[in-house]
Amino acid sequence: MAARIGIAVFPGSNCDRDVHYILNNIIGVEADFIWHTQDRISGYDAMIIPGGFAFGDRLRPGIIAAHSPIMQEVKRMAKHGVPVLGICNGFQILVESGLLPGALMMNDSLRFVCRWTSVQVTNNKTPFTSQFALKQTFGIPIAHGDGRYVADSKILKELKKKNQIVLRYESDNPNGSTDLIAAICNEEGNVMGMMPHPERASERILNLDRSRNSSSEAITIFWSLVSNLKQKAIA
């Protein structure tokens, strides 16, 4: 059975089409847009909450979108082990919806940051990082104004204890995130939020990491997900 992935779309989403194109045309897996008012979702093996500027971000990024009907379905799916990936604004929505701990706040520079950075894989046991080697580093673009992941000492201790920190910025901290955190997952490992944009480095014409003068391996995020779905289908 072929895998099918849903892409949540909110008013203001602007990376949904990028993710849709990469999954359907580069990865070769069926992916569909799902409008945020949908309160019944079935037939999907994974969900992606893409980046953008979801409605209500002026109050706090992701706070209104987190209460959309579709997110109640995403919570239900996550509870049943369905992989859920939130990218940039999607990460903010996952945090605001309570699926991931901590908070996303304004960059410590107080400026929007849009450039390439480098991250290291600190957990390759998730559905989104299983095709990476542990401690592998790769270049990936970022584009955010509220990308500073903040966790107090209690949350940070739990994240480390339960191996929930998935990606860390390799050296420079582009937004001031706690412990250089670029991505985290839930305790079960099936829900991951990441601030960098893998979909912006998943096509050959776009994926040259100029800081390394080499192709980015960011697309491995999506290949890992598809590999995980195929393994589950076989099992």
What is the tens place of the pLDDT at every residue in 154-187? 999 999 999 999 999 998 999 999 999 999 999 9
For residue 229, which amino acid is it? L
Catalytic residue flag (residue 114): no
61/206: higher pLDDT:
61
Q: Has residue 12 got a pLDDT over 70? A: yes
pLDDT at site 33:
98
Domain ranges of the chain: 4-234
Length of the chain counted residue by residue: 235
Q: Which of 117-121, 127-131, 208-212 shows the lowest mean pLDDT across its residues? A: 208-212
Mean pLDDT of 199-204: 86
Distance (Å, rounded) from C-alpha 66 to C-alpha 156? Answer: 23
Distance (Å, rounded) from C-alpha 29 to C-alpha 69? Answer: 25
Summary mean pLDDT of the chain: 92
Catalytic residue among 88, 96, 185, 217: 88
Q: Where is 161: in which H helix or E strand?
A: helix 153-161
> Would you state the structure tokens that stand for residue 194, as one six-digit string?
């990441």
pLDDT at site 235:
67
Catalytic residue flag (residue 203): no
3-class DSSP state of 112: coil
Domain 4-234 CATH superfamily: Class I glutamine amidotransferase (GATase) domain (3.40.50.880)
Mean pLDDT of 205-232: 80
Catalytic residue flag (residue 199): yes
If one counts every other C-beta atom within 10 angstroms of the C-beta of residue 164, the result is 26
Mean pLDDT of 83-90: 97
